[in-house]
């Protein structure tokens, strides 16, 4: 089973990175809908798909408006969009308001909250069901993280948040096979990260070490800063050797 990081950046696209969108094709699972959503064209098929949104900031939802372009290229199965009630309301009533985008795609919207676990059927041979466990994160406007249990494999998706929220999501991500964790800032920006609801690369590596995950994939990098240089990666590797600083279109084995 493979995790494809279609977009690895946050805030806005840059020459290096589109904003967040990840996909696990064998599970029909899509994580967030940033500007990289258009890259789903080589994966979508007639089977059902599930998109899980962390929150309603534009760099995580704008790709939902790309549906009609994707649908012109191939037959697409039903797409269920999951997220917190406030997130889904923002998508339906603001992103798809008539002045902004008058033709709403045929998404099925499903609210999910941190006090409920959900099991979804994938209709795929490699992964028949997924157990989804949401968790509250710390970010302006609110955000959800997710644990996806796919048979013997587990993936946690944590973006956007601060390290102060770790007590809330520590249990959820403990020992997962792959932890996808945001790190909007490099070392030295800890105060700004806290103020804006983010973490640094070193803080993300420390979270991975503290929770015993098997592999860390760092995403949601700041387009205005060089957060993917060798210095940052080397520092993270010293704390947690199984660290990957994601680039667009990279593939990670689960």
Question: What digits encode the pLDDT tens for the residues 87-137?
Answer: 999 999 999 999 999 999 999 999 999 988 999 999 999 999 999 999 999
> How much is the average pLDDT of 183-199?
90
Cα separation values, 64 from 71, 91, 126, 241, Å: 12, 9, 26, 35
126 φ/ψ sector (left φ>0, alpha ψ -120 to 50, else beta): alpha
Residue 8 contacts residue 27 (beta carbons within 8 Å):
no
Residue 27: predicted pLDDT: 97
What's the pTM?
0.96
**Is 178:214 a contact under the CB 8 Å cutoff?**
yes
pLDDT for res 150: 97
187 vs 221: which has the higher pLDDT: 221
Contact status, residue 23 vs residue 30, Cβ threshold 8 Å: yes
Q: Which of 101-110, 149-158, 180-189, 213-222 has the lowest mean pLDDT?
A: 180-189
For 142-154, the pLDDT digits (tens) are 999 999 999 999 9
Q: Please give the average per-residue pLDDT across 207-211, as a whole number.
A: 96
């Amino acid at each position: 089973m493979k995790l494809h990081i279609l977009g690895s950046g946050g805030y806005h696209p840059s020459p290096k990175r589109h904003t967040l969108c990840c996909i696990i094709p064998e599970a029909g699972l899509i994580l967030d809908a940033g500007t990289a959503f258009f890259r789903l064209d080589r994966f979508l098929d007639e089977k059902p798909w599930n998109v899980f949104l962390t929150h309603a900031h534009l760099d995580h939802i704008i790709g939902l408006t790309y549906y009609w372009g994707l649908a012109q290229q191939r037959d697409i199965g039903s797409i269920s969009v999951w997220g917190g009630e406030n997130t889904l309301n923002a998508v339906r009533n603001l992103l798809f308001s008539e002045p902004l985008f008058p033709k709403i795609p045929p998404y099925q919207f499903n609210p999910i909250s941190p006090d409920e676990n959900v099991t979804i059927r994938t209709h795929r041979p490699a992964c028949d069901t997924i157990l989804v466990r949401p968790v509250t994160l710390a970010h302006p406007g609110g955000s959800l993280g997710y644990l996806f249990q796919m048979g013997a494999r587990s993936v946690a998706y944590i973006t956007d948040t601060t390290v102060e929220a770790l007590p809330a999501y520590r249990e959820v991500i403990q020992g997962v096979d792959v932890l996808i964790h945001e790190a909007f800032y490099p070392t030295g920006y800890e105060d700004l990260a806290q103020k804006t609801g983010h973490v640094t690369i070193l803080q993300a590596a420390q979270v991975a070490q503290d929770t015993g995950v098997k592999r860390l994939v760092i995403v949601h990098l700041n387009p205005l800063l060089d957060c993917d240089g060798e210095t940052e990666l080397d520092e993270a590797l010293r704390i947690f050797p199984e660290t990957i600083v994601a680039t667009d279109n990279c593939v990670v084995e689960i």
